[in-house]
Chain A
């Protein structure tokens, strides 16, 4: 078990192993998303208050959940990279940030589309979750901007890792300080079992599916990142020669 992880941390080994996981996660993820979305749009009954408008949760909730998940992955791997100086961990953090930013953006957009029929407005400044997501997006943008601003890759890794950890300490504080406002957002209904099972099932399928798809995209991006970072190394040259064929 430990040997597997130790080997995984070596860039060439990861590079050769990743495609299998990308393919597996990607295929299973897409099947689950297809199934969940079909069930959510056609099989689940309309909500007695929101009618068909509630169906956007099948995209909105997974996106919002993954926006937080991506930040945790980013912060944890940044910490691992900073403490144990593991090169691959920094690649994971670098690859997770743009994905997380996109999921945050999608959560905000789908939330706005949902808000239009429900609250009568595209954008509700007074809602704590809208504000948390918006600040989350700003945190991602700051992280990416810091990475872009530093030319030397080792320095960019460490500086952005410090920022990711400081952000991770602050996220709960930011979350609860915007929660302090009066809320107009729907309360959580997923965990409490207040949701009808035929509505809940597609949501869980989609959450799992989007998570797997995120995993596939993350591994793909990490693989590209590794290839870029190790572009001067011998094993990359050998790998390229093998793929392209000797000149």
Chain B
């Protein structure tokens, strides 16, 4: 009597993959730290360019923090699939019997843990330095959480589409930035509303709704894009 073929359970691979990606990132912390410094530097550029008037800085602070977050997420995005593409493990991932959308989601979540989450943790420093109070910091954290997650998910589609191409980083920004506009608009405006003392629930509802939509659809688009760019 022959034993039936044993396949690994669906979904068991994704945790292995996430563990591996996290370990790789710990061994090479530069990839995590550089976007953070980039974020802090953009935040420092504006007072240098516009003058140190604290009232003006408080007025533009929410928008600047959000733009800086968007740009440093974009900067980090390039590395999402690049290393795996170069050493060939991305191809193995596509050929494996594990569902590719789940694997792509796993990689994106790890990428967010390494880029989005540290950025959220650093963002209060920027907000405080612009002369805004603790209530604004809370709202900033509340908008950056769904916002950066949405940006990682949207960005994973763009990163998957451009992964094999040369000079892909400018192209990647061109693809992802227009798609990311709703997140930027709602993120920055919600914080501005909080500064003015208005009701912010609409913005937060939108950001979480957008995040859920991206969580539902983006992994499939990313998986399709990965297959196309690796054929």
Q: Which residues of A contact B (CB under 8 A)?
A: 135, 138-139, 141-142, 145-146, 149-150, 155, 158-159, 162-163, 165-167, 169-170, 173-174, 177-178, 180-181
Contacts and interface: CB of A to CB of B under 8 A. Distances in A.
B106 to A, nearest CB: 20
B178 A138 contact: yes
Nearest to A173: B182
Contacts of B181: 135, 174, 177-178
A142 B173 CA distance: 9
Nearest to B222: A162
A138 B179 CA distance: 9
B190 to A, nearest CB: 10
A173 B181 CA distance: 9
Interface stretch (B78-86, B138-146, B223-231): B223-231
Interface stretch (B37-45, B66-74, B157-165): B157-165
**Interface size grouping (class) on chain B:** 20 to 34
A174 B206 contact: no
A135 B178 contact: yes
B229 A180 contact: no
A162 B165 contact: no
A142 B158 CA distance: 10
B121 to A, nearest CB: 27
B231 to A, nearest CB: 7
A141 B189 CA distance: 26
A145 B168 CA distance: 11
Given A135-B181, A166-B221, A177-B206, A149 B171 contact: yes
A159 B228 contact: yes
Given A146-B162, A173-B210, A162 B179 contact: no
Interface string B150-177: 0000000100011001001001001101
B228 A166 contact: no
Nearest to B189: A180
Contacts of B225: 159, 162
Interface string B52-94: 0000000000000000000000000000000000000000000
Contacts of A174: 178-179, 181-182
Contact of B217 (A139, A141, A167, A169): A169
B172 to A, nearest CB: 10
A158 B206 CA distance: 31
